[in-house]
Structure 1
């Protein structure tokens, strides 16, 4: 069965003048003026790369183990896949040593405009203390660094999966795209950290009834971990029609992160905590992760309808909340320790999903 992709939405490439204006925005600092001639030469090279669509200028043959060993893959993708495999092997070889990936979703830290660290980061420290007491290693992924460090970003998901699941590659092959200046994406550094972990703890505030944008970007770009295609040569890169044919002939929807334990801490000051907690837990459940029990999924207000300026003081005073955060870590520690020994109970594992997606 063949289903043709539908076209007509995307505009034509931007013109040379627009390209030049956008390229020059990177060099608005007067200190660059001494290199205007060099910048102009670089712009010409970048324009040619854009016009020709040179997404991945550095490639290599896929090699043994791929559907098409001769197909040339982006070297960045090959390196990312190798890092994921190495992380998985290291996890398998750690013996009794357990690791939890602690993700803080706040955009705020004291190295950027807010000038103050986040409560999420503080609570991560409390949780890390309990994990350490239990002999569990912590890997802290602070997503606020996307706002305070040079050249760190997560680009949006392009929703390849909505065209056909096999078009969504594991790991994501959409970035970097050198022709569009879509570089510096840190997801290839994040994927192995998820793979290496036995458990995940997400600690996040609520922004306008939703998860903060850095956390949502990370979540969206993890869609490839749930059903993603580990062999881009099978779709000849981004051949949408071929990917549709593969899905319609039967796709297994592999869950690359299933079986890990998780815990959640969602905090707010006025509204929205339950909705965000439900959304995050539903997402993690969908990917096949296992909640570490009732105490592991927490939503709480800190300084409910109190001034923003004193929110850290409110956290200092709420000793019960601090203990609840520690309980999230304790529950996840218990779960991953059990996981390393005999595996967490998943009564629905043998069941066949009649609606895989």
Structure 2
């Protein structure tokens, strides 16, 4: 089947120089920048030059051996991210290394920004962390997604949906960022990908926001699409050549599962609605990537302070010792499953079956 031409026709988002300058200079509203107006003019001119010439990846190096096109100019940022993932995979596969758990607090709330109070998710993460700390030779990495809202220069930029054009166009790790010409920089995902790769078990603790995942969690979920069938060799598509990517997929794509066989636990809490649906959605997402559920106790959805005032939600958690114990059980279940798997004692029915259809 010949590859179809990529469809075009959406409005052109290119900015005029006047509008670009207005937006760029809008970052410097603090009066402390006023004496630096001449310097900012020069910096703005350099930024406009990068934007107008679409210098997405201004620093590159030759891909070298091991790539389909060794002479292709790879972004140095992407190569560094790939190297970090390769190192993380080595740690994951090291049979003599410690058991590694990635523990994710997915609330955007913390006392370090506008809400002025820590999240219940973080408190539940601390409970789980105490369980993991009691297991010999276990290393726990806590990923606190509220840092997106509270920390300077911390971003997870949105997925650009390359996969929807063709699987091979979605690179592992993501090559859409950083995009220096568009100011899409300081993307956190290149630090987050190795955390997922090295982990033997992942535990996600999240509240419900409007019946759905929190904004930080959803951003991370979308940007992990490249782990589920993404192309580890951008030189095959010469970067973002959409038509070539379509050809490659139609020639036969194997949809590599870069995070397969890791164990997971999911804890979802809410106060009025949506916990069961969100727990199921997150579990379905993880199993689609061929991660393995750690068992029924490891998947939990609960209401804390059901229909009670927001102002007393932490006090409701204080009183709910049962949900605290259930979170401990979820962590224990993940520990037990991960330790069993690393020892070759975990039996997962159907693990050697091949899916007849992939996407």
TM category (shorter chain) comes to over 0.9
What is the rounded CA distance, in whole Å, between the counterparts of 1:12 and 1:323 in structure 2? 52
Aligned to 1:279: 281
1:57-89, CA deviations, whole angstroms, 9 ceiling, x for partnerless residues? 000000000000000010000000000000111
What is the rounded CA distance, in whole Å, between the counterparts of 2:79 and 2:98 in structure 1? 28
Matches within 5 A, 1:63-142: 63-93=64-94, 95=96, 97-135=98-136, 136-142=138-144
Shift of 1:105: 0.6
Instruction: Point out the more displaced range, 131-140 or 259-268.
Output: 131-140
Matches within 5 A, 1:1-357: 1-93=2-94, 95=96, 97-135=98-136, 136-342=138-344, 344-357=346-359
What is the rounded CA distance, in whole Å, between the counterparts of 1:232 and 1:5 in structure 2? 18
Is the 1:175–1:183 Cα contact (8 Å) retained in structure 2? yes
What is the rounded CA distance, in whole Å, between the counterparts of 1:102 and 1:301 in structure 2? 21
Shift of 1:137: 1.7
Instruction: Point out the more displaced range, 338-347 or 161-170.
Output: 338-347
What is the rounded CA distance, in whole Å, between the counterparts of 1:122 and 1:83 in structure 2? 30
Count of residues in Structure 1 that have an aligned counterpart in Structure 2: 357
What is the rounded CA distance, in whole Å, between the counterparts of 2:149 and 2:57 in structure 1? 26
Shift of 1:132: 1.4
What is the rounded CA distance, in whole Å, between the counterparts of 1:59 and 1:256 in structure 2? 25
Shift of 1:93: 2.0
SS in structure 2 of the partner of residue 69 of structure 1? coil
1:116-169, CA deviations, whole angstroms, 9 ceiling, x for partnerless residues? 000000100100111111222210000000100000010000000000000000
Instruction: Point out the more displaced range, 6-15 or 52-61.
Output: 6-15
What is the rounded CA distance, in whole Å, between the counterparts of 2:252 and 2:351 in structure 1? 20
SS in structure 2 of the partner of residue 288 of structure 1? coil
SS in structure 2 of the partner of residue 208 of structure 1? coil
SS in structure 2 of the partner of residue 13 of structure 1? coil
1:282-328, CA deviations, whole angstroms, 9 ceiling, x for partnerless residues? 00010001111110000000000111111001101001100000000
TM-score if structure 1 supplies the norm length?
0.98
Is the 1:95–1:340 Cα contact (8 Å) retained in structure 2? no
Shift of 1:353: 1.7
Is the 2:106–2:145 Cα contact (8 Å) retained in structure 1? yes
Structure 1 stretches of 4+ with a deviation exceeding 3 A read: none
What is the rounded CA distance, in whole Å, between the counterparts of 2:316 and 2:45 in structure 1? 55
Shift of 1:343: 6.0
Is the 2:91–2:97 Cα contact (8 Å) retained in structure 1? no
Structure 1 runs not aligned, ≥5 long: none
Shift of 1:219: 0.2
Is the 1:83–1:192 Cα contact (8 Å) retained in structure 2? yes
TM-score if structure 2 supplies the norm length?
0.98
SS in structure 2 of the partner of residue 214 of structure 1? helix
Q: CA RMSD in A?
A: 1.0
SS in structure 1 of the partner of residue 66 of structure 2? coil
What is the rounded CA distance, in whole Å, between the counterparts of 1:248 and 1:225 in structure 2? 20
What is the rounded CA distance, in whole Å, between the counterparts of 2:19 and 2:264 in structure 1? 46
Is the 1:259–1:344 Cα contact (8 Å) retained in structure 2? no
CA 1:314/1:12 → structure 2, altered by over 3 Å: closer, same or farther? closer
Is the 1:96–1:341 Cα contact (8 Å) retained in structure 2? no
Structure 2 runs not aligned, ≥5 long: none
What is the rounded CA distance, in whole Å, between the counterparts of 1:168 and 1:195 in structure 2? 18
